[in-house]
Amino acid sequence: MNRLRPFVFHQPTTLDEAVRILAAERGAARPLAGGTDLVVDMKLGRARPPVVVNLKRIRGLDRIEPVDGGTRIGALVRIAAIQASAIVRERYPALWRASCTLATPPIRNLATIGGNLGRGSPAGDMAPPLIVHGALVEVEGPGGRRTVPIQDLHLGPGITCLAPGEVITAVVLPAPPPHGGSAFRKLGKRGGGWDIALVGAAAGLVLGGDGAIADARIALASVAPTPFRARAAEAALRGRPPSEEHFARAAGIAAEEARPISDVRASAAYRRSLARVLVLRTLRDAAGLALDAAVPR
Ligand SMILES: Cc1cc2nc3c(=O)[nH]c(=O)nc-3n(C[C@H](O)[C@H](O)[C@H](O)COP(=O)(O)OP(=O)(O)OC[C@H]3O[C@@H](n4cnc5c(N)ncnc54)[C@H](O)[C@@H]3O)c2cc1C
């Protein structure tokens, strides 16, 4: 790796100050959280920001807290803290599972949820489960605070809808539905988790009183320019019984909705085939949890 090029380093202690500095640089400045993407990119010369704004001295952005029946996860919450959270583990299984498979423990101790989303990678592990959980992204910028549905955050590879000066401050997850279950799976080049996804898949199912699927959500990473919802596959599941036949059909539809590319890591055909397999497995996992939740105790 190369040495870092010189840059101006700011360490604001308030959000207002961070936003003011970032806005003044009109997009030339980059916020820094855990640095596991940004510092690597800077060392490799893929990013050359003249100004870097460290967010980590801003208080209050590193908490997981209850809000209106749901849960608010601050942008500076580290992936290791999500993995360690009993609230996330019990209420948001897809997100919890994704936190267990993002990189290795040393990276998870630095990497933040805000940085994972802010990077705008089509392969990031946090977006698919957050889409399935129906998360909203809180954003603060020169124009004040706004909220963005997670599926609208990413516009293309490395591109988010954030305007210059805007930073992600939190993600807000609604209360999980009763009789619901969710799951996440991914496969990386090394054959398991711990690695950037060749394909990442999350699924969420809600069962109605009649035992049929009342709602379904499926989200995929690394098979399109952005993480996306496989809406046709979701529609094929609603009102159907949670059976292997319907899961297999939906997984095939989701794979057709994908727009994978071939690159050094995998061919488009392999990614599409893998998407089908992973969606099928996440649907089975999610159904298992939903059926368990539906059993009277
Ligand atoms: C060896 C290795 C393995 C990895 N494996 C995985 C993996 O398996 N899965 C995966 O998803 N990722 C993986 N990554 C990528 C990286 O660890 C994650 O994307 C991580 O979550 C980034 O968070 P961070 O806090 O380190 O972000 P940073 O590097 O600090 O920032 C990343 C980007 O987001 C911007 N940013 C940071 N915070 C905010 C904010 N609050 N608002 C707006 N923009 C912001 C930065 O300006 C930068 O553009 C890996 C990285 C390495 C080095």
Domains and CATH numbers, the chain: 180-294 (3.30.390.50)
Backbone angles phi, psi at 160, to 5 degrees: -115, 175
For residues 194 and 76, give the distance between their C-alpha atoms in angstroms, rounded to a whole number.
Answer: 21
Residue 195's pLDDT is: 79
Ligand 1 contact via 15 beta carbon (within 6 Å): no
15 SS3 class: helix
Is the shortest distance between the CB of 155 and ligand 1 below 6 Å?
A: no
Produce one character per residue of 174-199: b if its CB has 16 or more CB atoms within 10 Å, e if not. Answer: eebbebbbbbbbbbbeeeebbbbbbb
Which atom of ligand 1 is least distant from the CA of 139? 42
Nearest CA residue ID for atom 52, ligand 1? 36
Tell me how far apart the alpha carbons of residues 90 and 96 are, in angstroms, rounded to a whole number. Answer: 8
pLDDT of 3 reads 80
Averages of pLDDT over runs of 10 residues in the chain (297 residues) are 86 97 92 97 95 97 97 98 98 98 96 98 97 98 97 97 96 97 92 78 97 98 97 98 98 98 94 98 98 77
Res 256: pLDDT: 98
Q: What is the pLDDT of residues 82-128, one digit of tens each?
A: 999 999 999 999 999 999 999 999 999 999 999 999 999 999 999 99
141 Cβ closer than 6 Å to some ligand 1 atom: no
Q: How far is the CA of 272 from the centre of ligand 1 (A)?
A: 25
At 106, the amino acid letter reads: P
Ligand 1 center to 195 CA (angstroms): 13
Count the Cβ atoms, other than its own, within 10 Å of residue 273: 15
Compute the chain's Rg from CA coordinates. Answer: 19
pLDDT reported for residue 110: 98
pTM for this entry: 0.96
pLDDT at 146: 98
Contact by Cβ (8 Å): 244, 252: no
Helix (H, G, I), strand (E, B) or coil at 127: helix
Q: What per-residue confidence (pLDDT) applies to 12?
A: 98
